[in-house]
């Protein structure tokens, strides 16, 4: 991306965001904002722009400026940039930006309208606030990690989607947008303390609700949505691939049985938990009689809530994803298209990660 300002399209066009370079959820939040039209600028140390072919797609669609945040002169330049910004995103441990002279008190004094977004795992206070951690640690204390896995087996880390991105970047974006809406009334910015541990708890709302009603067991793999139920499971097919089954509602379950050529009169009631283990064996034997693609044809166009389990390599060829153009290619790398979609202010095509730095003193002037 050149040093010239790029026309931004989307509902956030006109919003200026400064992102202190980091890892994981902070950059992901910035990507989501940039995809929706925000003018996002990454602040990073001099000489950190990698050569072509090694640029991280998570840094797409924004410009880069270079600054040494331990140099008072460069800090002053960054403060000048922040005076012209609407949002700041930082993902350092608590207290780091304060020691750099870029903490909320300083920045909000220079720009009372700025939304100061802070992305951490543990939050800005509490006994673990300054402890290191990763997604797996943040979700382990919330009960979420314990709940994911099969009966009698160890918990399974759900990639890094629940803590880093679901509980982290998505809640940071949510907080930033809420603060921008509130600013329209008050005229003032504020600090957004987005902690992955808090977001993961919010995402697990349904499980906490079920548990409070006595409908969720802490025993892993015996509940309706954790592979305990035969109608919410993954089954192997004859070619060693898999089908995903999510036929929760009775009308969908009836269509599932029809596709499997099973007579409901010969089977126990769908919600008879005592029969779930035996029914899983029945379903497993059935799915092993056809290939994944053959089962896909059986259930295609039905409401049985049965779908093939695709790999990342296969997903770009899926007819639905192709029709919606849900995956796009930028600089030879397949990645997600901007989401969600807007009827009146659609997002533009994302640009590749910056190949050169922009002069910090020429931005937004």
User: What are the tens digits of pLDDT across the range 105-115?
Assistant: 999 999 999 99
- Please give the Cα distance from 179 to 189 (Å, whole number): 7
Q: Tell me: the pLDDT tens digits for 249-308?
A: 999 999 999 999 999 999 999 999 999 999 999 999 999 999 999 999 999 999 999 999
What is the reported pLDDT for 6?
58
Burial of 23 (0-12, 13-18, 19+ CB in 10 A): exposed
User: Based on the domain organization, do 304 and 335 belong to the same domain?
Assistant: no
User: Based on the domain organization, do 290 and 171 belong to the same domain?
Assistant: no
User: Based on the domain organization, do 51 and 196 belong to the same domain?
Assistant: yes
- Please give the Cα distance from 150 to 226 (Å, whole number): 7
Q: Is residue 220 part of a domain?
A: no
Structural domain for 192, as ranges: 16-203+329-362
- Please give the Cα distance from 346 to 349 (Å, whole number): 10
User: Based on the domain organization, do 24 and 169 belong to the same domain?
Assistant: yes
Q: Is residue 32 part of a domain?
A: yes
What is the reported pLDDT for 3?
38
Residue 1 has pLDDT above 70, yes or no: no
User: Based on the domain organization, do 161 and 74 belong to the same domain?
Assistant: yes
Task: Give the other-Cβ count within 10 Å of 295's Cβ.
Answer: 25
What is the reported pLDDT for 5?
52
Long-range contacts for 275-281 (Cβ within 8 Å, ≥24 apart)?
276/228, 276/229, 276/230, 279/230, 280/230, 280/233
What percent of the chain has a predicted confidence (pLDDT) above 70? 98
Of 65, 116, 80, 84, give the one whose Cα is nearest residue 14: 84
In angstroms, the Cα distances linking 107 to 27, 98, 175, 365 are 20, 10, 18, 18
Q: Which two tokens stand for residue 293?
A: 């693609």
Asked if 40 contacts 62 with a C-beta cutoff of 8 angstroms, the reply is: yes
Q: Is residue 214 part of a domain?
A: no
Instruction: Tell me the pairing of strands 232-236 and 63-66.
Output: unpaired
CATH assignment of the domain containing 169? 3.40.50.10540
User: Based on the domain organization, do 287 and 340 belong to the same domain?
Assistant: no
Helices (H), the chain: 25-35, 72-82, 96-100, 104-110, 135-140, 144-147, 170-186, 196-203, 205-212, 250-259, 276-287, 292-299, 319-324
User: Based on the domain organization, do 80 and 162 belong to the same domain?
Assistant: yes
Rounded mean pLDDT of 199-203?
Answer: 98
User: Based on the domain organization, do 167 and 261 belong to the same domain?
Assistant: no
- Please give the Cα distance from 146 to 154 (Å, whole number): 8
What is the reported pLDDT for 8?
86
User: Based on the domain organization, do 47 and 161 belong to the same domain?
Assistant: yes
Q: Is residue 280 part of a domain?
A: yes
- Please give the Cα distance from 57 to 342 (Å, whole number): 23
Active site positions, annotated: 134, 164
In the block, tokens 């269509």 appear at: 255
- Please give the Cα distance from 201 to 144 (Å, whole number): 8
Beta bridge partners of 19: 42, 89
Of 98, 97, 149, 141, give the one whose Cα is nearest residue 121: 141
What is the reported pLDDT for 2?
39
Q: Is residue 63 part of a domain?
A: yes
DSSP 25: H
Residue 164 has pLDDT above 90, yes or no: yes
CATH assignment of the domain containing 263? 3.30.1540.10
- Please give the Cα distance from 43 to 37 (Å, whole number): 19
Q: Is residue 342 part of a domain?
A: yes
- Please give the Cα distance from 121 to 172 (Å, whole number): 12
Domain count, the chain: 2
**In a 3-state reduction of DSSP, which class is residue 160?**
coil
pTM score of the predicted model: 0.94
- Please give the Cα distance from 166 to 187 (Å, whole number): 29
In angstroms, the Cα distances linking 211 to 110, 243, 265 are 47, 28, 32
What is the reported pLDDT for 330?
94
Beta bridge partners of 188: none
Task: Give the other-Cβ count within 10 Å of 269's Cβ.
Answer: 9
User: Based on the domain organization, do 267 and 336 belong to the same domain?
Assistant: no
Q: At what angle do helices 196-203 and 170-186 cross, to 10 degrees?
A: 100
User: Based on the domain organization, do 182 and 144 belong to the same domain?
Assistant: yes
User: Based on the domain organization, do 156 and 303 belong to the same domain?
Assistant: no
Q: Tell me: the pLDDT tens digits for 55-105?
A: 889 999 999 999 999 999 999 999 999 999 999 999 999 999 999 999 999
Q: Is residue 211 part of a domain?
A: no
Q: Is residue 221 part of a domain?
A: no
């Amino acid at each position: 991306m050149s040093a010239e300002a790029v026309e931004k399209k989307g509902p956030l066009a006109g919003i200026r965001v400064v992102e202190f370079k980091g890892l994981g959820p902070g950059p992901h939040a910035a990507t989501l904002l940039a995809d929706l039209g925000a003018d996002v600028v990454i602040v990073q140390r001099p000489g950190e722009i990698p050569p072509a072919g090694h640029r991280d797609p998570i840094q797409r669609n924004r410009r880069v400026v270079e600054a040494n945040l331990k140099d008072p002169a460069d800090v002053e330049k960054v403060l000048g940039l922040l005076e012209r910004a609407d949002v700041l995103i930082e993902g350092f441990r608590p207290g780091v930006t304060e020691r750099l002279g870029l903490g909320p008190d300083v920045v909000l004094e220079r720009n009372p309208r700025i939304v100061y977004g802070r992305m951490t795992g543990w939050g800005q206070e509490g006994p673990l606030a300054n402890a290191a951690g990763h997604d797996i640690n943040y979700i382990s204390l919330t009960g979420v990690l314990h709940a994911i896995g099969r009966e009698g087996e160890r918990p399974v880390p759900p990639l890094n989607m629940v803590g880093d991105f679901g509980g982290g970047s998505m809640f940071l974006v949510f907080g930033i947008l809420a603060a921008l809406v509130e600013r329209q009334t008050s005229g003032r910015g504020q600090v957004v303390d987005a902690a992955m541990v808090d977001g993961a708890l919010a995402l697990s709302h349904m499980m906490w609700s079920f548990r409070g009603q006595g409908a969720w067991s802490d025993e892993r793999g015996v509940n309706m949505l954790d592979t305990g139920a035969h109608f919410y499971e993954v089954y192997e097919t004859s070619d060693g691939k898999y089908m995903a089954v999510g036929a929760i509602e009775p009308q969908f379950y009836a269509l599932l049985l029809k596709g499997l050529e099973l007579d409901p009169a010969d089977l126990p009631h769908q919600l008879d938990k005592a029969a779930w283990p035996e029914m899983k064996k029945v379903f497993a034997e059935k799915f092993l009689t056809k290939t994944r693609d053959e089962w896909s044809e059986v259930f295609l166009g039905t409401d049985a809530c049965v779908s093939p389990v695709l790999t990342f390599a296969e997903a770009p060829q899926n007819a639905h994803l192709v029709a919606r153009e849900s995956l796009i290619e930028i600089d030879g790398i397949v990645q997600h298209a901007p989401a969600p979609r807007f009827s009146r202010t659609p997002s533009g095509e994302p640009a590749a990660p910056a190949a050169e730095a922009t002069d910090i003193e020429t931005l937004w002037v």
